[in-house]
Amino acid sequence: EEIRQNRLPLAGKHVLITSGPTHEPIDPVRYIANRSSGKQGHALAVAAYEAGARVTLVSGPVDLADPDNIDTIRVESAADMLSAVKSCLPADIAIMAAAVADWRVASEGAQKIKKDGSGKPPALGLVENPDILATVGHHESLRPKLLIGFAAETQNLIDNARSKLERKNADWIIANDVSPETGIMGGDANTVRLVSRDGVEDWPEMDKAEVARQIVARAAAALDE
Ligand code: CTP
Ligand code: CA
């Protein structure tokens, strides 16, 4: 293990990755969710491990097995994901690939919500969730040297990615078009662009494992600079 680690590009480094969706409870039997499969985030964790890093994976609810040799923390909600991420820092690199739910219900019902017979649906008062990437990005002492976010967009991909880069104080945003016709959500392939303060790189379509290896290789090189 020691010999294996020493020769690899991320030997001795700690990489933190978030993956999957979050589930935001409405009541004991219902939740708000999204279509993230966790495939890209989990592939990143495996790629970082294969590059020699110690990897912590903070994962929302996914149908994937916890990857071998990777310290995996399973969470449900965005609030839980933020606490888990904070507890795992510091890290040399953090890659926030989770599709964090943007909103949660203001107060989770203690009992199952029942139809009241009026025919009127209950109003779900939503509040915004904490932004995990932005919280880490703006943290004075805990911000990793290299902080990478994702931006899933259905329009204005580059403009939106650039504004996320700035707003969240990330180093890179991996931008991808998740319009339904691309079939990216849940699939095995991904077409991404790497958006940094140096510009935009268009990458060809690759499977998610290869996208992960490319991101990790670039991240290792950037840490060395
Ligand atoms: N992110 C996060 N915490 C949130 C929301 C997003 O850490 N509460 C991270 C995601 O993991 C991703 C990046 O921020 O790395 C961009 O997520 P995205 O949903 O595209 O951005 P939002 O700021 O939520 O903007 P939008 O209104 O487009 O959803
Ligand atoms: Ca969002």
Could you list the beta-strand ranges (E) of 45-92.
Answer: 54-59, 71-74
* Residues 174-219: tens digit of each pLDDT: 999 887 777 777 778 889 999 999 999 999 999 999 999 999 999 9
Average pLDDT over residues 109-120: 93
> What band does 69 get if pLDDT is binned at 50, 70 and 90?
very high
For residue 92 the two structure tokens come to 């040399």
List beta partners, residue 213.
none
Annotated binding-site positions: 102, 112, 130-133, 150, 164, 168
Provide the 8-state DSSP code for 203: P
Cis peptide before 122 (omega within 30 of 0): no
* Residues 165-175: tens digit of each pLDDT: 999 999 999 99
Report the complex ipTM: 0.99
* Ligand 1 pocket, residue 98 CB under 6 Å: yes
The ligand with the least distance to the CA atom of 171 is 1
Cα 64 from chain centroid (whole Å):
15
pTM, full prediction = 0.95
For ligand 1, what atom is nearest to the CA of residue 168?
14
What is the residue with the minimal CA distance to atom 9 of ligand 1? 133
Backbone φ, ψ for residue 53 (5° rounding): -80, 155
Told to judge if 156 belongs to the known catalytic residues of this protein, a careful annotator would answer no
